[in-house]
Structure 1
Amino acid sequence: MTAAVRVGLSSGCDPKLTASELAALTLSLGGDVVDLRADKGHRWEEDGLPAVRAQGVGVAFVGLSLVLGDPRWDPETLHRSLSVPDVGVPVKVFAADGCNTSGRELTLRQLQALESLGVRPCAVLVETHHGYATIPELLDLCDVFGVRVLVDTMGLVRLVGGADEALRALPLLAPRTDAVQVKGFDWESPELSRHLALSACEKPTRHVLDALPRTATATVESKAGCLDRDVPLLRAWLGLS
């Protein structure tokens, strides 16, 4: 990724911020986009997407609790159980281990339900996350159903079992990736690591960014308490400042 179209913050950095406060913070740090987590009590939902857009900040995606291929998410009840954002805003979901085998028919019906709500498969981003779909499953999900990938750096390392494996997976994921969430963490022991400053893991994080397409949005999701350093550093790594 020689450059990202948009760089900014996740609402997960500070769930207590309203949408307007998150947008203002993002702008103050040199960012121009946010990603938003729904259904988790984050305060941005009080004033919502219009408050973000009113400040000229874009929305990379809205994260939902939906798990593709998980029978607890009955497609018939999606209309009542999910807060789908405005048409045109991508949504981020998870995918269960087995979503392309035992859960394949369910996955299809879930995606059809989302499409009936105005979210086409190409606007569905599936997150790399420990305990969920494997890399081969994610690739198949993209190629068969037309969904896209959100690379969560820490989630990817934990999903594949190590830093080397994560870097080897990136060339496969890159053509299917529309967004990346970055955070500082111990790449050697991610399952035990707290969030760290991005500067603590520059080399592997830059490998990730270099491997991904320049069209991907890049947001910081961190509770390390150094967003004022993380966002400018991310911009610098991407050649934006």
Structure 2
Amino acid sequence: MSVGIASTCFPRLKAQQLATRMHTLGATTTDLAVDRGQQWEVDDPSGALLADLGVEVLTVGLRIEIGSVSHTPESIERHAMSRAGKSIRVFASDDSTTATRRALVAEQLAAFGDSTVLIDTHQGHASDRTLLELTAEFDLGLVLDNEGLEFVTEDARRFVEQVSSSVRVLHLKGFDRVKGSLSTLNRSLVPADLVNLHHVLEPVDPSVPIVLQTRSTTVERDHRLLTHLQKLRA
């Protein structure tokens, strides 16, 4: 499978344009970010057109946080209804596994119906401890984001070893931390990033798909470098 390209990389392209651009770069898989003002939703809100154009939608990202009382099972069901059977990428709150939230989490997960729920390792949400407990208790898969790993754990390699069997998709990018905050600046990937990524991701099965998810302006170059990483991991 080729390295995918997330819709976040080309937020101003409508579905037909996105598919054409992806094929030009040799990508056939994507992650679609919903309700982020991206143009693919204008003419393809369900993602069906992209599928018809030869783009496999690996994951659909919804702005839902498992464990948060702000997202009731009823509201989740409404959001997930049009994504039935899909792999849905969501976040998790850091108190998802507390005694008072476990029942809520179970109800929230049930509201997704036959969709597969994957937790995004994104900064500002669940910590490494909570992610470990969630994957074990509820048998959930992870979308492992290298940017988020910088914030959710102090030992990325050890954490990846612990959750490797739960990783379903890798979201990778180049970035620099903004000192003293949870913010980052996306930048071009460089060869040194590949050395680090190869080490950190070594415990993950090489067949797990890679998706480039970046706001940098060097998508073609970044995609080429991640393709090289994929070959190193094969």
Same-fold status (TM-score > 0.5): yes
Gaps of 5+ in 2: none
2:225 to 208, 233, 236: 233
Structure-to-structure mapping, 1:80-229, within 5 angstroms: 80=78, 82-101=79-98, 102-115=100-113, 118-119=114-115, 123-161=116-154, 165-186=155-176, 191=182, 193-199=184-190, 201-229=193-221
Q: Does 1:65 align with 2:56?
A: no
- The structural deviation recorded for 1:43 is 1.4
Higher relative CO (Cα under 8 Å, sequence separation at least 6) belongs to 1
The 1:87/1:154 distance shift into structure 2, 3 A limit, reads same
Contact kept? 1:30, 1:232, Cα under 8 Å: no
- The structural deviation recorded for 1:188 is 9.9
Contact kept? 2:172, 2:210, Cα under 8 Å: yes
The 1:239/1:156 distance shift into structure 2, 3 A limit, reads same
SS across alignment from 2:220: helix
- The structural deviation recorded for 1:173 is 1.8
- Deviation digits for residues 155-192 of structure 1 (CA, Å, limit 9, x no counterpart): 1111224xxx1122110121100001101023796956
Gaps of 5+ in 1: none
Q: Does 1:46 align with 2:42?
A: yes
Q: Structure 2 length as normaliser, TM-score?
A: 0.89
CA distance in 2, matches of 1:216, 1:9: 15
Tell me which residue corresponds to 2:29. Answer: 33
CA distance in 2, matches of 1:110, 1:203: 39
Length, aligned pairs only: 228
CA distance in 2, matches of 1:183, 1:86: 26
The 1:193/1:41 distance shift into structure 2, 3 A limit, reads closer
Tell me which residue corresponds to 1:56. Answer: 54
CA distance in 2, matches of 1:108, 1:192: 31
- The structural deviation recorded for 1:208 is 3.5
Task: Tell me the C-alpha RMSD between the 2 structures.
Answer: 2.2
CA distance in 1, matches of 2:104, 2:183: 34
Opposite residue 78 of structure 1, the aligned amino acid is: I
- State the percentage of identical aligned residues: 30
- The structural deviation recorded for 1:207 is 2.2
SS across alignment from 1:236: helix
- The structural deviation recorded for 1:235 is 0.9
Q: Structure 1 length as normaliser, TM-score?
A: 0.86
